Amino acid sequence: MTTAAERNLTWHDVVIKRKDIEELNSHRGATVWFTGLSGSGKSTVADYVARMLHERGVRTAILDGDNIRQGLNNDLGFAPADRTENIRRIGEVGKLFTSFGTINLLAFISPYIADRDNARKIQADGDFVEVYVDAPLAVAEERDPKGLYKKARAGIIPSFTGISAPYEAPEKPEVHLHTDKQTPEESALEVIKKLEDMGIVPAQ
Amino acid sequence: MTTAAERNLTWHDVVIKRKDIEELNSHRGATVWFTGLSGSGKSTVADYVARMLHERGVRTAILDGDNIRQGLNNDLGFAPADRTENIRRIGEVGKLFTSFGTINLLAFISPYIADRDNARKIQADGDFVEVYVDAPLAVAEERDPKGLYKKARAGIIPSFTGISAPYEAPEKPEVHLHTDKQTPEESALEVIKKLEDMGIVPAQ
């Protein structure tokens, strides 16, 4: 058979770059970082965004506690250094998905500004979209989908964000949702509108 | 606006699953794990596989030392425990890409059978394709694309696989390439043939 050299195929032609994949997909890769209290609706909104984008033929990947804490970060606990390392790795995995043209939706409490800013800094401008999933603590605690607030109030879970550990709200998020006043679909549409405005997905 | 409940949208309908993405892509997600000596041709063959699959509209992601050691695993060195953790994390990231329908091509020396088997075990049967990129040490050392063998022979790099550290060849790899006798394209075609036979990509 002919070799690459014989077919005059240059190395530049062989290596697939991010833009090649983005052209195939007809959308850009990006990290959409959902931050907020437990029970604020991060995963729910991310699920709706993924569904709506999927119906447009957009490639998404949801990373959350379920697939990260039990896998990649199963060696980490909840001490401050472990929380920082947890978010550092998640940010790096998000960057990888971005670099291969997938819109990655990351749903983690991620309570510290410094950790989120580090995740933003490792990506190019316009590749990182911070979504503040804002709900009053009382609303989030009332929802308590996993029963964690109850355990935190009982002292069974130490250092629980919002109860016994701080949550540092984003100062300039790309999107600021109010899930106590919006349905998940309305929230998801607001996120997608921002992705359109930033040229990450085509406007409809 | 209508809520999910009003539209009779069930939660099951909202959550995007792996098979939804695979239907959109018209191919399955899978991890293709290239193992072999430095200079055996792992990255070169992976690049060709990615290019050929891209031309078929298949979504790929290449993970290698360049994008892993400088990012996710920039906290790890080359001591045995660090090497094992390096491979563990790479295997978990591969599993994530698989779960979102992307064919991930992982090119790492990964010299230990136990580490590779652990990476295989965390994925479902048929989702992990081990490719032994086999070249005699003398050939790999003659190629020495990064000048690493020269440094290893001079004692500048300690614990270098093939010189001063062991390489444990796969016992039953899905694909066994001989890059001293095959062009990169021939090797890539052999990998793609296996992906077709396993039902990961459609046969052509």
Residue B117 has what DSSP assignment? H
Put simply, the answer to whether A72 touches B96 (Cβ < 8 Å) is yes
- CB B197, CB B190: distance < 8 Å: no
Q: Which residues of B touch A14 (CB under 8 A)?
A: 47-48, 51
The reply to whether A83 touches chain B by the CB within 8 Å rule is no
| Residue span of the structural domain in which B115 resides | 16-196
B155: domain CATH number is 3.40.50.300
Q: Is residue B6 part of a domain?
A: no
**Residue B5 falls inside a structural domain:** no
Distance CA A180, CA A143 (A): 11
Residue B69 counted as domain residue: yes
Q: Is residue B80 packed enough to be buried (19+ CB in 10 Å), middle (13-18) or exposed (0-12)?
A: exposed
Residue A3 inside a domain? The answer is no
Number of domains, chain B: 1
Residues A173-202: tens digit of each pLDDT? 999 999 999 999 999 999 999 999 999 999
A16–B186: do the CB atoms touch at under 8 Å?
no
In a domain, A11, yes or no: no
- Pick the catalytic residue: A40, A43, A110, A187? A110
Model confidence at B45: pLDDT above 60: yes
pTM, whole model, 2 decimals?
Answer: 0.94
B29: tokens are 């997600």
Let me know if residue B203 belongs to a domain: no
What is the percent of chain B where pLDDT is above 70?
Answer: 96
Using one digit for the tens of pLDDT, what is the confidence trace for B46-89? 999 999 999 999 999 999 998 999 999 999 998 889 999 999 99
- Which of A24, A72, A85, A189 is the best mutation test for B, with the most CBs of B within 10 A? A72
Cβ <8 Å between B62 and A1? no
Residue A115 falls within a domain, yes or no? Answer: yes
Size of interface A-B (CB pairs under 8 A): 109
Distance from CA of A123 to the nearest CA of B (A): 11
Catalytic residues of B: 110
Chain B contact for A96, CB < 8 A? yes
Q: How many CB atoms lie within 10 A of CB A120?
A: 16
Predicted-complex ipTM score:
0.94
How confident is residue B121, by pLDDT bands cut at 50, 70 and 90?
Answer: very high
Q: Could you tell me which of B72, B35, B28, B82 has the C-alpha nearest to residue A71?
A: B72
Q: Examine residue B2 and state whether it is found in any structural domain, yes or no.
A: no
- B119 vs B107: CA distance, rounded Å: 13
